[in-house]
Amino acid sequence: MSSEVEDERDWSTVIAGEQLGETPRRPRALTIAGSDSGGGAGIQADLKTFAAFGVYGASAITAVTAQNTLGVRAIHEVPADVVAAQIDAVLDDIGADAAKTGMLSSASIIEAVADRLRAHSFAPLVVDPVMVAKSGDALLRPEAVQALIELLLPLAAVVTPNAPEATVLSGVEVHDAESAREAARRIHALGPAMVIVKGGHLEGDRSDDLVFDGRSFEILSGRRIETPHTHGTGCTFSAAIAACLARGMEPLAAAREARAFLQGAIEHAEPLGAGHGPVNHLWRSPHA
């Protein structure tokens, strides 16, 4: 079964509508990820995306990166106990209706994140298994992959690997639709409730994402856009899913809405920097 991505919902209208009469509590989401000094990916992309969906965003920073559209110049990991303390501080007080992970960098940070999420009995969780930056710079140590598989994937409501990440997680070389299906089956067997193998790295004039929930497959179809301005697409997609989950949407509906949002963010990207520029997280805003 396939569904063409469409911009089905005007979130500015939804948000404005909530402000009429008795305003319900604003949905909250937590991002656990690295900081991108260029503002296109990581914590910065996640918080912009949460805001675009009318969701209050909180953060636990796992690493500070010095990067721009050309590449990553330096990475400084936040100590695992400080990452854990950030998660506790947010969930003990503000709380969250959904969370997502991005750059986790090391096995010790993954262990700390999984431990605190289990301690808070937290759900739903979106795992973006960030391994490599758009520039090609490594963002996850090789020895941390097994910790991600064993500790974090079983906690995930949704996991969103691109083709190279799906290859690492599944052991299947993902190069076309059939290999993506087999990879999705194997990743699902590792524990996440839903797997979305993103198609941006595959060949063809479409950029289709494959969704598998353990029972059936769904295709989220999208147009491939020839542009260098795709920095932060994975972060933005997973953050949009988390935002929609925080708003009470079911996972498949959240994935569809997130795909539509990302499509527009790529289409409306503006040139910034000399390399891989960021998508436009505010493309639905009247001030974009």
Pinpoint the alpha helices (H) of 189-250.
Answer: 233-246
Which residue in 40, 199, 234, 277 is the catalytic one? 234
**For the domain 2-267, what is the CATH code?**
3.40.1190.20
- Rounded to whole angstroms, how far apart are CA atoms 132 and 145? 12
The residue annotated as part of the active site, out of 62, 160, 167, 230, is: 230
Among the options 39, 54, 199, 232, which is catalytic? 232
pLDDT digits (tens, 9 = 90+) for 203-222: 666 779 999 999 999 999 87
> Which tens digits make up the pLDDT trace of 134-185?
666 777 888 899 999 999 999 999 999 999 999 999 999 999 889 999 999 9
**What's the distance, CA 288 to chain centroid?**
22
Q: Which of 171, 157, 163 is nearest to 126 (CA)?
A: 157
Residue spans per domain, the chain:
2-267
Examine the residue annotation and report whether 234 is marked as an active-site residue of this protein.
Answer: yes
Query: What pLDDT is attached to residue 285?
Result: 84
Helices (H), ranges, the chain: 11-18, 42-52, 80-93, 107-119, 145-147, 163-170, 177-188, 233-246, 251-267
Q: In what order do the strands lie in the sheet with 71-77?
A: 2-4, 217-221, 209-212, 194-197, 158-159, 125-127, 98-101, 28-36, 56-68, 71-77
Q: Which residues of the chain have pLDDT under 50?
A: 1-8, 12-21
Confirm whether 102 is a catalytic residue. no
pTM of structure? 0.90
48 assigned to active site: no
* Active site (annotated) includes residue 244: no
- Which residue of the set 233, 236, 244, 277 is catalytic? 233
Report whether 160 contacts 128 (CB < 8 A).
yes
What's the confidence (pLDDT) of residue 227?
87
